[in-house]
Amino acid sequence: MLFVTFASTNENKNREVEKILSSHGISVDFVWTSPVEIQSESLEEIAREKAKSAFAQIGKPVIVEDDGLFVDALKGFPGQYSSHAFKTIGNAGIIKLLVGSADRNASFRSLIAFYDGKHLSISEGRVDGKISDNVTEGGWGYDPIFVPSGTSLTFAQLKEKKNEYSHRKKALDDFARLYSKE
In sequence order, the 6+-apart residues with CB closer than 8 A to the CB of 76 are 70
Instruction: Determine the Cα–Cα distance for residues 84 and 95; give it in Å rounded to an integer.
Output: 16
- Is 83 in contact with 68 (CB distance < 8 Å)? no
Instruction: Determine the Cα–Cα distance for residues 78 and 107; give it in Å rounded to an integer.
Output: 11
- Is 146 in contact with 94 (CB distance < 8 Å)? no
**Closest C-alpha among 100, 39, 90, 51 to residue 69:** 90
Q: Which residue in the list 66, 67, 143, 173 is annotated as catalytic?
A: 66
User: Which alpha helices (DSSP H) does the chain contain, by range?
Assistant: 11-22, 43-58, 82-88, 90-97, 155-158, 167-181
Q: Establish whether 66 is a catalytic residue.
A: yes
Q: Return the number of other C-beta atoms located less than 10 Å from residue 51's C-beta.
A: 27
Q: Which residues are catalytic?
A: 66
